[in-house]
Structures are given as structure tokens and as C-alpha cells.
Amino acid sequence: MFKRHRPPTILIRVLICAVALLIGHSEVYAQEPTTMLVRISEIEVVSQSVDEYQRILGEEAEASVRLEPGVLCIFPSAQRGNPTQIRILEIYANRDAYNAHIRSPHFQKYKTSTLDMVKSLRLVDMQAMDAKAMPLIFKKMGGQP
């Protein structure tokens, strides 16, 4: 008999972020305050600072999701085989939530303490393409939190 394994927490976070991405609509330049803002931050980190940068980023991401109701997802990841290449899926309830986030003490601490660690930063605003897939994602999750 097969045992059903509970998916790892990280997988659940990825699925939740993906769902939020699918239902988000972010035309940032013409965005209304109630429209979800979805962004991918593309960051290159100085190789000598990778471990410290990832530690600081992890603390900031956790605090943002825990403390800020308008931060729906901050999901950092490093490119496999090249940890200097960081990507962050960021999903905010709206532009106001994003603006509050960048003024928050934990974001300001992250930004100032990693300033010399970042070689490049590119912010890519995204727009959902298939909101109909959202129910299918929840169905595949099997109702697990």
C-alpha cells in the first residue's frame, strides 16, 4: 500500500505564488491602486557575498509575508548551478501594498545591508496570462494547506 506524502512546505508556497501570479493583473504604469502587482526581480550578487545575501534576503522575505497583509508572496530562488543569479517572485495586493512594503523597516534593512552585494538588479513587471488555471492548481494541491 502506498503512503500519501504531504507536499513540502516550499512546494505549497510555490503553488500559492503561482496561483496568485495567474490571477494577478499588473499593468504597472497604468495600474489602479486595487490591481494586483506581480513582479520578478532579477538580481546578480557578488560571488563572495552569496551566503550572506541569501541569509539577509531570507529574513526579509519571511518578515514581509508574515507582517504585511498586502504582501501576498515574496519567493526568492537561486539559479541551480549559479547561486549568484537570484530571482524573486513578488506579488502584492496592489500598488499601495508595494509602496508600503518598500517603506517597511525590514525592507529598508535588507536594501541598505545588501547594497554592496548586488552587481545588478532588474525589475520585471508581469501580467497573468491564464487565470482559468487557478482552480486546477488548487485541485492538484488536494485541499492541503
pTM of this prediction?
0.72
Task: Tell me which of 9 and 46 has the higher pLDDT.
Answer: 46
Looking up residue 100, the CATH number of its domain turns out to be 3.30.70.100
**Mean of pLDDT over the chain:** 78
Residue 118 lies inside a defined structural domain of this protein: yes
In a domain, 98, yes or no: yes
Cα–Cα separations (whole angstroms), residue 67 to 72, 78, 111: 11, 24, 17
Does residue 24 register a pLDDT over 50?
no
Identity of the residue numbered 42: E
128: phi then psi, degrees, rounded to nearest 5: -60, 145
38: confidence class by pLDDT, cuts 50, 70, 90: confident
More confident residue, 11 or 86: 86
How many Å apart are CA 124 and CA 40, to the nearest integer? 5
Closest CA to 89 of 102, 71, 114, 103: 71
pLDDT band at 2 (very low <50, low <70, confident <90, very high): very low
The answer to whether position 22 is within a domain reads no
Q: Which residues contact 15 (CB under 8 A, 6 or more apart)?
A: 137, 140, 141
Counted residue by residue, the chain has a size of 145
Kindly report, residue by residue over 75-130, the tens digit of the pLDDT: 999 999 999 999 999 988 889 999 999 999 999 999 999 999 999 999 999 886 66
What's the confidence (pLDDT) of residue 47?
97
Structural domain total, the chain: 1
Residue 91 lies in a domain: yes
15 located within any domain? no
